[in-house]
Structures are given as structure tokens and as C-alpha cells.
Structure 1
Amino acid sequence: MFRHAQLESVKAWLGDPAHQALPRHVRIQRAIRQLILDGALDAGRPLPASRALARSLGVSRDTVEAAYGQLHAEGFIERRVGSGSFVSAQALRVPRQPPSSRPGQPAAAALSQRGSAMLAGGGVRESLTARPFAPGIPETRNFPLPVWERLQRLVLKEHGARALAHCHPQGMESLRRAIADYINLERGARAAPERILVLTSSQQALSLCATVLLDVGERICVEDPVYHGARKAFDAAGLDCVPIPLDGDGMQVGHLDAVANARAVFLTPSHQFPSGTTLSLARRLGVIDWARRQQAWIIEDDYDSEFHYAGKPTACVQGLDDEQRTIYIGTFTKSLFPGLRIAYMLLPPALVAPMTVARSLQDGHNATIAQLTLARFIEGGHFGAHVRAMRSVYAARRDRLARLVDEHLGDFVTAEVPAGGMQMPCFLRAGIDEAPAVAAAQRAGIELLGLSPLSAGGGGCPGFLMGFAAYTPEEMAIALRQLAAVLQGLTAK
């Protein structure tokens, strides 16, 4: 029979708000099972009669009978006609859970070295809501939803149930064709549909490059400072990241020759992240020549090249590369909306099959309906029209942010107005520490990305990135006044 403490334990399970979604018989069954697993009820111990337990718990006898029936089916109790219910001897063979692994007390996981590195790196945390001044977030309130909805209806009407099925891991042919046509025209690429691999994100593309092209311990050259998502993908894959310094013309590619046995280089040549510089044509040709001589790969992340505000953007490195050593990465997360989850790689012919097979081991393929809708969106000219409209909006917001920063933060930071992109680097003046400033801003509801952690060599200038694409001038003005008060409070201490 139950002792008082055991009966109270079952009552606690029954009344716990965390368990209210479960039927009563399930709550009773799990409470008794836990007592058995904890060793509080030994093998052969008789359980209370169902009528008596029902009376003690204030439930119907049928409820207790249902709980006992499930425990019997799982082998935790035996039911003997005329004698009652007893804890089964089989329960002794169920491994006892150590206290640290019981509900509410998760056990420490034994991770691989790679898993530990991923956990220590903290992952790549995207802002779920567009809080000023989170970088890299597009304005979604202006997105032409009625157009998208109409095109999606057309897709479903044309394809029917076929749009609900699996598709090839390389992506729908119509979308690959639309992407190839667009980047050939707008980015000067040399693309063909059969060389496009549709993915869920640029982060997936970086992870595939890290694991398919290089082995653990091999060297990859990266910009310094570097995009944090790339660095974390390469670190998680166990690569040796070698920082290459920047100047006003982007990565100093002449330093690449001093790096022995480098297998690849990672670049953001259109708008270097986070500095915003553009890699000069001479250096683009220089990195192509280096890759040819070293038989190395160029990983070109063209993450927001649509948003260039002064003159024509420089052609992508891939379009200049006769050696076919360049992997070109693009995404629609920045140009359309994050929830779309569609990005792509333009691959050298020799890498199409390996990358597609590797991708099939991760998530199989992108949602078919979204791919077909996006293909129509691009083919119908809606993508180009949306980008042109948002380019004008973002340019005005960039200029407005620069004025607001000068007005409210002039005593604390120096801003560098970028020629393109969706975020503005601001460098802290002497006397203000970066980490406390970023942390205090976060507590005030303002998202800033610190610049120092992005320096692979550890010598970055203290400051932060301020995204401006997703925020109206009024929203930026309110947030900047709050940020000014935060920084003022730090300097007053």
C-alpha cells in the first residue's frame, strides 16, 4: 500500500499546473511510474485497491483503473485476480535515473568536440522581432503580400497536389532558372540553372562549404573583421581560420601568399561585413589568381548586394573567374523576407553533385510551394520592382540614421556611412567600453552588434553595427534618444 508521502506525491502530480493538459488517468499513471523508477515502490509492493485510491484522490474508480491498465501494459505492475495489483519484478530491470536527469534537472550532455565547439560558439542568433537597431533585417511591412498571395494561388491551381510533394534536393528547375537569369543580368555572374543549388539559408551554404571542401584542421583565410556566421560555421567544422586584414579597398589579398597550405578564402566583396568596404577590381582579380595558383576555393557571400546606393555595384567575383574556383552564395532573406527561408549557391560544375548529395543529408529540400511562388515572383518582374523600391527606402533611412546619430550620439560615437548594405558601423569614442554599452542597450530594448568580437585577430576597434533597413525614421529617432540616455549613464559613472 502507499505510504503518506507516496500518496502525496501522486496528488502533487495530479494537481501540478504543468500537467493539466494531460488526462487524469495519464497523470496518475505517470506519477506511479515515477515512484517505481525512483525506487520508492519496490518490486512486489502491493498497490492500493482502485476504489480506495480513487477515493483518496477524489477521482472516479474508472480513472484509476485506466491508469493501472496502462501501467500493466507497460510492464510496471502485475494484476492478479482476487489479490490486487503489485509492482512488477520487471521494474527492477529498468535503469534508475540519476537525480540530475529527472524532470526539471537535465543531465549534462556528453558532447563531441564538434558539439562542444558549437555550444561554446553560441550559434547564430537572429532577432525574432525587429527591435532597433538589429542589423540585417529587411523592412517587411512594405512587402507586396497581395501579389505573393495571388502567385501562390496560381501555383496551387497549376500544380495541385504535386506542389505538396518532395522535390529534388537541388531545387525546382523553374526557380533555378529564374535565379540564374537574375544574377547573370544584375550581378554579372556566369550562371546556368544546372549549377544552382537551392538552400534554406546562407548559413547552410557556409556549413556545406566548410564540411564538403575542407577537412578538420585545414586552413581557410577570412576577412578581419569577419562575418560572425561564417566564422562560427568554420569553427564548428574544426577549420583553422587565418585572419587577413582590411583597408579601404577591402581584404588585402597580397597577404594570402604568406599563408601556407590554405585551402579556401571567404569574402564578402560587395559590402564587406561589417566594415561596408567594397573589394576593388584589382584585388578581385588578385584573389582569383591566388586561388588558381593554390588550387584553392573562393567562397563569395553576396548577402545584400541588391542594396547599393552610390553608382553601379561591382560585378561579382564569380563572373570574373575563368578558373571556376568560386562558390557564389546569395539569399532572399535580406532582399525579401526572413520567413521565406530560401538561399542558393552557384557552384562550379565539379561541385554540383557533391554539394547536392551533402545537402540531402541535412534537410532534403526546400518547400516546393515557396520555390514555385518565388520563381513566378522573379519571372514576373516583381522581385526587381520590390528591390528598386526598397533600395530607395533604405537609402533614405541610412541618411536619416546618419543625421540622427550625429544629433544624438555625436559625443559618444563616430559613424561611417556605408555606400550600401543594411547596417551602419559606429565606432565608440575613448572612455566608453563596448561590452557594457551593448549590454546596457539590450536591457533598454535596443539591439546592437558589437564590432570587437568580429575581429578574428583580436584587434578590432570598439563600436557596434546599427541596422536601419527595418525601422522607420520615427522608430529610429525614439530608439536613438533612448540609446543616448544609456550611453550618457555609462559615461556618468
Structure 2
Amino acid sequence: MFKHAQLESVKAWIGDPTHGALPLHARIQRAIRQLILDGALDAGRPLPASRALAKSLGVSRDTVESAYGQLHAEGFIERRVGSGSFVSGKLQRTPGRSSAPRTGARPGPAPAPQPGPHLSQRGAALFRDGGVRDFPAPRPFAPGVPETRGFPLHTWERLQRQVLKEHGTQALRHGPPQGVEALRRAIADHVNLERGGHATAERVLVLTSSQQAMTLCAHVLLDPGERIFIEDPVYHGARKAFDAAGLRCVPVPLDGQGMQVARLGADAEPARAVFVTPSHQFPTGTTLALERRLALIEWARQRQAWIIEDDYDSEFHYAGRPTACVQGLDAHERTIYIGTFTKSLFPGLRIGYMVLPPQLVAPMTVARTLLDGHSAPIPQLTLARFMEDGHFGAHVRAMRGVYAKRRDVLAELIHRHLGDFLAPTVPAGGMQMPCTLSCDIPERTLIDHARRAGIELLGLSGLHASDGGQPGFLMGFAAYTPAEMESAVEALAEVLRKSSSSTHGQGPRDRG
């Protein structure tokens, strides 16, 4: 059973008005999660039986079971048949955490002023100078492209008319460089509710894209020549942003549990940052294990380094709920969380965002003014209303169902028509499917031949920093109907057959 103080902490957490937007089971889950993270519940500690805890909290047993189920799915607890629930033995207390969970209550004495953030020389110069205050149809199988034909355009148009009627010509003026407050508030609510984050409107910076966010991180946080750890393989847009800033990218290999975080601490030469896609790694689709997330946070705390977390398509998961974002687990405020609406809504919207540690909000906002000044107010205000009225959540849920079916269709089509050439890995989420080549045709040759046949393929080899990457493709499925995919797969099969017969007379590899 919980000690009296622990039970009272859970009651205080779930009764705090600042958590009122969360469902009851989520409040219980996060309160217990915080007790575990703060070390108030040690590894291996038994938890109260769901019936007993429900009685103590005055809630239904199903509510407690839902909370325990999510804690188990995220790896915080273990459930043993006939024995009960226990804090996971893999977890260790992170030094520097308080002994009680945050409750959102107003603190007593004001904390001492924190030292200013350690910026790059370029970032410090941008902050000092004050910045500038003036404010095609996709082809199969291009990855990362959402379906736009089912977007509720009439709803969007209606909300935009409401915005124009309410704001008039004021909506035509320059917007604040940090973003419209209504949208920042809606984003913070979304990140907290859906991703388990710790966000406030004051910590959100609205941008045009996640690419802009990575460029800002590269230029503001690090100097040319400094090292940044990246996943191997890695999202090509991130690698290009870091290379353009003159950073030294250090690849870290992956396994079935994501980035091998232990290698960061074993590296003798320090690095100032790490870039990760923990919820749905690009391009492999793996999820970073909970113990590695906590180890990553501890590494950043010890080294005073930054974690750049790209949560690019976490809305689209097809089995249960996704694990909480790293930012929501980081009590030391070393994580920059990046999100985008390009994939969850439509690319033409051009709205992304960062949730920043408080000490980075002003430097990042000032630096942003030198890139494009601000994001257009009318789309921001419309999106804020779209989210507040529940349309965003409804659209994402609808697309989640559509994409899951299309993923299954593509997997079946590949097995039926391309089984001698490609081996797909069916992802648990996301909008694209990695497929490795099981024949001896050069990857680059196939990409070129497929493009001439009207098919877009993203090669996997080029996403690896090392030479050990297996050739293959990343095939997007979200934007294409089953009929469109079937036609494209048949065309791709013909391309592969022709390429196979013309490449030194070689056919598919013997996979037996």
C-alpha cells in the first residue's frame, strides 16, 4: 500500500485544477508516474491493489485499472499474475529530483534567478542584437505526405470566416514573433493531454515547420565545429540542418529499443546536444525504451547538454497509446520538443512549433525574427479555433483509422507483387513503411527507374551515416488510396523485373 503521504500526494495531484483538462485515469496515472520519477516509489515496490486504491481515491476500479494499464504500457510498472503490480525493476531514481511530485501549486519563496543559458557565439550575438522586429500533387510512394482529400475544408472555411469577422483588418497585420497566444495555448493543451508533456503557452514558439525548428537549434545552441549526437540512420532534414550550421554530427547506432544511449556516456569527447525521434524513429519506426529515455535525460543533466526531440508524427499510432514524450519526463528542462501540423493536417498550412525550456524562449524568439519574422496570423487563429472546438482531435482520429487500413493494404500488396524483391517492416505507427531490398539491384538504379515510371521512393542507404545500412526504400502510404497503391505497386513490380533482368542477369536473392 501507499504510505499516507504518498496517497495524499496522488489526491492532491488529481484534485489540482490545473490538471482538470485530463481524464481522471490520466491524472491518476501521471500522479503515480511522478512519484516513481521522483524516487518516492522505489524500483520493485508493490503498488496498492486496484480495488483498494480505487476505494481510497473514491473512484471506480476501472479508472485505476486504466491508469495501471498505461503505466505498464510505458514501462513504469510490472504486472504479475497472482502477485499484483510493482514499480519496474529497470528504473532507478534520477539524482536531483524532489521527493514529492509536482502538484501545480503556487510555490513559496521565489527561487533564485537561474544563470543565463549557454548559447553558441552566433546565438548570443543574435540575442544581443535584438533581431528584426518588422514583421505539387504527391506521387506514390512519397513518404511523410498526409491525405488531404478528406480534410474538413468546409469547417476550416467557416472558422476562418469567424476569425475574419471577429478580428477584421487586425488579422492582416504582423503577428507576434512567438506566435498568436490562442494557438500557443491550444498547442500547450494538446502536448500536455496527448503527449504527456509539461508545456505552457509561454514556452511555445510557433514556427513555419519542424525544419525551421532544427535550423534554429543548430544555430542558436551550438557553434560551428561542435559535436551533436544523431541517430544512425537519421532523418535527412535534421542531418542537413546540422551540417549547414557547421556542426560535427556523431552517429549513434540503433537496436530494437531505439538509440543506444549508453554510447553517449562512453564517448570521451563531449557533445553539446543529441537529436532523437523517440516516439517513432525515422526511418526504422522503433520506439525508444523508457529506461533509455531516462538515461538520456540523466546524460543531458550531467553534461548540461540539450535534447532535441522531434515528435514528427506521433498522432498516428495504430496499437494502444504512444509512450509519453521525453520532454514530459525531463525535470531538468534540457529538452526542446518539436512538433508540426504539416503531417497531422496539411502541408500548405506551414505551422510547426517548439516547446522550449523557459531560459531559451527569448533567445529562440529573437533568432526566429531573422528567418521570417512571424507566422501568418489568420491561419494561426483559425487553427487555434479548429483545435479548441475539437475538430483537430476528430480529424486525427479519422485519419488514424484510414492510415491503419492503408498500411495493411500496402503490406499485403508488397507481399503479393514484390515479395521476391522487397521485405517490408510493418510499422506500429507513422505514415511510411521501411522495406529492405532482397535482390542485387543497386538501390540508386531502382530509385531512378521508378521515378521515370511515376513512382517516388526514398532510399534507406542515404539515411545512414555509416556504411552498414541495408539498401531499401521508405514507402509512404498515407496519401494514397488502395486502388492508387495497387496500380503503383504493379508498376513498381514491372520496374523491378526489368531492372533485375538487365543487371548482370541477376534475379532475386535466394532467401532460403
Q: Which amino acid aligns with 1:416?
A: T
In the alignment, the residues of structure 2 paired with residue 456 and residue 413 of structure 1 have an alpha-carbon distance, to the nearest angstrom, of: 22
Residue 432 of structure 1 deviates from its aligned partner by 1.9
Which residue is 2:277 aligned to? 268
Q: Which amino acid aligns with 1:129?
A: A
In the alignment, the residues of structure 2 paired with residue 167 and residue 437 of structure 1 have an alpha-carbon distance, to the nearest angstrom, of: 46
In the alignment, the residues of structure 2 paired with residue 404 and residue 390 of structure 1 have an alpha-carbon distance, to the nearest angstrom, of: 21
1:399 corresponds, among 408, 416, 424, to 408
In the alignment, the residues of structure 2 paired with residue 404 and residue 279 of structure 1 have an alpha-carbon distance, to the nearest angstrom, of: 29
Superposed CA deviations along residues 160-188 of structure 1, whole A, max 9, x for unmatched, are: 00000001100000000000001100000
1:219 corresponds, among 205, 227, 235, to 227
Q: Which amino acid aligns with 2:146?
A: P
TM-score by length of structure 1 reads 0.74
Could you list the structure 1 runs, at least 4 aligned residues long, displaced by more than 2 angstroms after superposition. none
Q: Which amino acid aligns with 2:419?
A: G
Which residue is 1:140 aligned to? 148
Superposed CA deviations along residues 411-446 of structure 1, whole A, max 9, x for unmatched, are: 001000000000000000131211101111111110
Residues 1:430 and 2:461 are matched in the alignment = no
2:306 corresponds, among 297, 303, 325, to 297
Superposed CA deviations along residues 344-371 of structure 1, whole A, max 9, x for unmatched, are: 0000000000000000111000000000
Superposed CA deviations along residues 328-357 of structure 1, whole A, max 9, x for unmatched, are: 000000000000000000000000000000
Which residue is 1:412 aligned to? 421
Superposed CA deviations along residues 63-122 of structure 1, whole A, max 9, x for unmatched, are: xxxxxxxxxxxxxxxxxxxxxxxxxxxxxxxxxxxxxxxxxxxxxxxxxxxxxxxxxxxx
Q: Which amino acid aligns with 1:385?
A: A
Instruction: Summarize the alignment of residues 358-369 of structure 1 with structure 2, pairs less than 5 Å apart.
Output: 358-369=367-378
Residues 1:131 and 2:131 are matched in the alignment = no
In the alignment, the residues of structure 2 paired with residue 370 and residue 311 of structure 1 have an alpha-carbon distance, to the nearest angstrom, of: 32
Residues 1:248 and 2:259 are matched in the alignment = no
In the alignment, the residues of structure 2 paired with residue 457 and residue 170 of structure 1 have an alpha-carbon distance, to the nearest angstrom, of: 38
3-state SS of 1:140 partner: coil
Which residue is 1:44 aligned to? none
Residues 1:155 and 2:149 are matched in the alignment = no
3-state SS of 1:309 partner: coil
In the alignment, the residues of structure 2 paired with residue 431 and residue 199 of structure 1 have an alpha-carbon distance, to the nearest angstrom, of: 43
Residues 420 and 439 in structure 2, CA contact (< 8 A), matched pair in contact too: no
1:447 corresponds, among 456, 467, 475, to 456
Superposed CA deviations along residues 201-257 of structure 1, whole A, max 9, x for unmatched, are: 000000000000000000000000000000000000000000000001110101111
Residues 1:165 and 2:173 are matched in the alignment = yes
Which residue is 1:479 aligned to? 488
In the alignment, the residues of structure 2 paired with residue 456 and residue 210 of structure 1 have an alpha-carbon distance, to the nearest angstrom, of: 18
In the alignment, the residues of structure 2 paired with residue 266 and residue 370 of structure 1 have an alpha-carbon distance, to the nearest angstrom, of: 29
3-state SS of 1:238 partner: coil
Residues 176 and 374 in structure 2, CA contact (< 8 A), matched pair in contact too: yes
In the alignment, the residues of structure 1 paired with residue 468 and residue 360 of structure 2 have an alpha-carbon distance, to the nearest angstrom, of: 36
3-state SS of 1:298 partner: strand
3-state SS of 1:441 partner: helix
Residues 412 and 432 in structure 1, CA contact (< 8 A), matched pair in contact too: no
Residue 459 of structure 1 deviates from its aligned partner by 1.8
RMSD of the alignment, in Å?
0.6
Which residue is 1:207 aligned to? 215
Identity across matched positions, percent: 72
Residues 1:351 and 2:367 are matched in the alignment = no
In the alignment, the residues of structure 1 paired with residue 485 and residue 311 of structure 2 have an alpha-carbon distance, to the nearest angstrom, of: 27
In the alignment, the residues of structure 2 paired with residue 459 and residue 176 of structure 1 have an alpha-carbon distance, to the nearest angstrom, of: 42
> Alignment length, in residue pairs?
366
Residues 1:235 and 2:243 are matched in the alignment = yes
- Give unmatched runs, 5+ long, in structure 1: 1-127
Which residue is 1:342 aligned to? 351
- Give unmatched runs, 5+ long, in structure 2: 1-135, 503-512
In the alignment, the residues of structure 1 paired with residue 171 and residue 231 of structure 2 have an alpha-carbon distance, to the nearest angstrom, of: 41
Residue 258 of structure 1 deviates from its aligned partner by 2.7
Which residue is 2:191 aligned to? 183
